[in-house]
Structure 1
């Protein structure tokens, strides 16, 4: 048996999964087939919901330090140096107590990954470069992985190592997916997209830049305010370029042909890629290894992070013997529904952006609303205890709750201004002391952190030593959660920041945890 419980073959979301597992006491080993860490901005948009998950994981401060807000996009016509218009990609939203991170953040992916690797190093985990998964063999209680390790001189050593679990987050060309015999289901879009990072002189890095002459569209996305590296994205919705692979020189010629901007010059291209669009029917592994889709809307990286956070807390409970293995089945059950909606959303955006809309040609560029992912929910999940009034209601996986109160299956609002009254080692609002004590006594030991939230000016008299007692001195918790001060309400918040249940009695608490724990 390996010293590590989980093997992760990775791209960025593998780092996040490793953080979740390590913070929950599960050992991991991370392998990367490349000999050096990838460079390039790639997926750079971090949506508000992902920022909230990073806050839960404790990595948000350093992510915010290295990025910036979403800039304006400027539009050009052929031969003109000055733009003819602007597009607001995202309106700035003022933070509120229940949503402290409402605005997206832009971080080049290589910088993003380095921040996460630094947190992993602090937890004693590093990425094994030059290590590639060759094959795997599954057994009832483990997985044997054949790994080839290549050193700087090109020497190779193969090993067969046994793990409890193996997670493939290794991108659209996933070896893990191929080993499992899984394939993408659905239709391929006809558009061809070529993109990559390239050094450019002559354009302002404070803006995105766009030229659109149907069926072709080209835009430049800066990597940062002080960087000359831009991502160049070129698409042709005709079939003339189907199957073509672009070189750096060919992409530059397409730029000059569309813009007549010979004042713009090009330097090295750290990486280039071609992208074929695909819809996914079933998801059994995480991130781009499971769902490949249009880059429109900046949903891919964020959906991948949410995949692994959903999987991570469940895998940690199962690995530690606190939950049955059947809990892992809910990973696909919860995420398939969300990913299906995400694929539809990105496909619709893709059509608006790359095929054009004569009535509102700029509509597809807006990055607010559902794209921020604050409404992503798990309604209908077998491990969510929904209110009878909303259970089975027709809601989309990206829609916010319309009830005006806290609701199971949706994100748990934030609530600043809480003041500790007694720091003794799900959330309890109001109610009499006797009932609260009874509920606390029934909670699973060493698995649930109990927090008693009291309204301003009230103190606890039950003498319980099992809860962290906080006073809602600013009133944001009771207001944001829609709670009354004169009745007990228990809000059970999952490790991924999703409300698992809203109950009013001991039986409700026990009924919920029976869904989760062994």
Structure 2
């Protein structure tokens, strides 16, 4: 077997001696976001994708407020804002007439945190991926297409990924971001535990319907004739709609253009000919499943490879991107000699409970047992129980160790402007001193800065790194 190179010459990857620091399997939002986070830290990462191009289709189209904050830090926010738009108001149709409004998301209520981003932002997943790829390549990262990983072997020094072609890629660490049917997860023998959320299969398709109003999200309840539910949502930044249609259990859905047109005509007042183009279509059965563990040695699971959601709550893609955001700074710190390998143990410790919680929320929303409210915005997710979170104040304030630092402006200074970038920040506010992790969560909180050094020593942080990059910066903001 050969060690493959991204240029197909068999000379190795992008790293020295044919070994990359991190091999990321899968070029969806998870893998691309992780690639960006590693690239800006100077980590030699290679993203491989079995397809010949980025995956098509709108799929996960909603970006929650917390993901928008992550994207701001990763340097893609302006492009994401330009590419998308807010969600439209829903309108309910019955017998060819509009019969009422349908509120997709609960409004922000009094007392909830006010941030720059308060509601989801719509960007079709294919466009989201294009933006992430462009940013990765701007930072010097690479996506190699047509490389299918079918197995992995490990030893004390790294991981060897075996490709369908018979070639191999060598890496110090690997991350499986290859989706719900992850070949890497199966190769590792990691099971998923879950349930069928809804036995009825769903069709999802991207289409063009010039005759339909693009200012509204069109909702069609099940009809008297037996046709199932459908929704037709205009995709922001495009001329397309995303169509979702429910079918009876056991249906073999026709994904052809004619089949998609027929499904729309059966459930709406539209004729088949009103659908002028069918650009992409797929079917799925809503499931909720969680990997039994998120790590096997030097291989980590992230995104759909680790947790599968119903799309109803708009949580899957967002939870996946935040997996990457959590893992990226930890891999970077270990690979650059700034933290011990034990830091990597906290990835599963922190992210698996979050994924389990969010899975329950997604399922409840699918079953109309919960609303799309504050919980879906993901601003309140925290790591208070993590071994990385140390709260030393006898009377903690609102902001505690493990919490996400809020998007506040204090004395004319926006906190996020101080925290942006790949480093830790020692932040002094009126209610305490906070050592803020690179992902914007508080690691240590105290009444003065005196205990911060002991916290860093306990975790083995701030070791000898390369490149002279700061690992810690200190700022004082008084309200």
Q: 1:320 aligned to 2:345?
A: no
- Displacement of 1:496 after TM fit? 0.8
Task: Map Cα deviations across residues 341-364 of structure 1 (whole Å, 9 max, x no partner).
Answer: 111101111011xxxx8xxxxxx6
- Distance in 1 (CA, whole Å) between partners of 2:209 and 2:412 is 51
Distance 1:27 1:265, change over 3 A: same
- 1:509 equivalent among 430, 452, 457: 452
Alignment of 1:51-450 (within 5 A): 51-78=68-95, 80=96, 82-90=97-105, 99-148=115-164, 158-189=166-197, 190-213=199-222, 216-224=228-236, 226-227=238-239, 229-236=240-247, 238-241=248-251, 246-262=255-271, 265-276=274-285, 277-284=287-294, 285-352=301-368, 367-386=372-391, 405-416=398-409, 448-450=424-426
- Displacement of 1:303 after TM fit? 0.3
> Normalization by structure 1: what TM-score?
0.76
Q: Secondary structure at the match of 2:193?
A: coil
- Distance in 2 (CA, whole Å) between partners of 1:211 and 1:508 is 59
- Larger Rg, first or second structure (1 or 2): 1
Q: Secondary structure at the match of 1:187?
A: strand
Task: Map Cα deviations across residues 104-154 of structure 1 (whole Å, 9 max, x no partner).
Answer: 211111111111111112111231121221322111110011235xxxxxx
Q: Secondary structure at the match of 1:348?
A: helix
- Distance in 2 (CA, whole Å) between partners of 1:84 and 1:513 is 60
- Distance in 2 (CA, whole Å) between partners of 1:264 and 1:501 is 61
Q: Secondary structure at the match of 2:134?
A: helix
Q: Secondary structure at the match of 2:192?
A: coil
Distance 1:491 1:158, change over 3 A: same
> Normalization by structure 2: what TM-score?
0.81
Which 5+ residue runs of structure 1 have no aligned equivalent? Answer: 149-156, 358-363, 391-402, 421-425, 428-445, 454-477
- Distance in 2 (CA, whole Å) between partners of 1:341 and 1:258 is 34
- Distance in 1 (CA, whole Å) between partners of 2:282 and 2:312 is 16
Does the CA-based 8 Å contact 1:220-1:232 persist in structure 2?
Answer: yes
Distance 1:448 1:91, change over 3 A: closer
Aligned positions, number: 426
- Distance in 2 (CA, whole Å) between partners of 1:168 and 1:15 is 12
Runs of 4+ more than 3 Å apart: 90-98, 243-248, 386-390, 415-420, 446-451
Does the CA-based 8 Å contact 2:382-2:404 persist in structure 1?
Answer: yes
- Displacement of 1:217 after TM fit? 1.5
Q: Secondary structure at the match of 1:35?
A: coil
Distance 1:337 1:261, change over 3 A: same
Task: Map Cα deviations across residues 215-247 of structure 1 (whole Å, 9 max, x no partner).
Answer: 8321112212651x21111124x5353x65644
Task: Map Cα deviations across residues 238-263 of structure 1 (whole Å, 9 max, x no partner).
Answer: 5353x656444333323222224328
Q: Secondary structure at the match of 1:280?
A: strand
- Displacement of 1:164 after TM fit? 0.3
Does the CA-based 8 Å contact 2:83-2:237 persist in structure 1?
Answer: no
Does the CA-based 8 Å contact 2:193-2:290 persist in structure 1?
Answer: yes
- Distance in 2 (CA, whole Å) between partners of 1:323 and 1:84 is 59
Distance 1:201 1:404, change over 3 A: farther
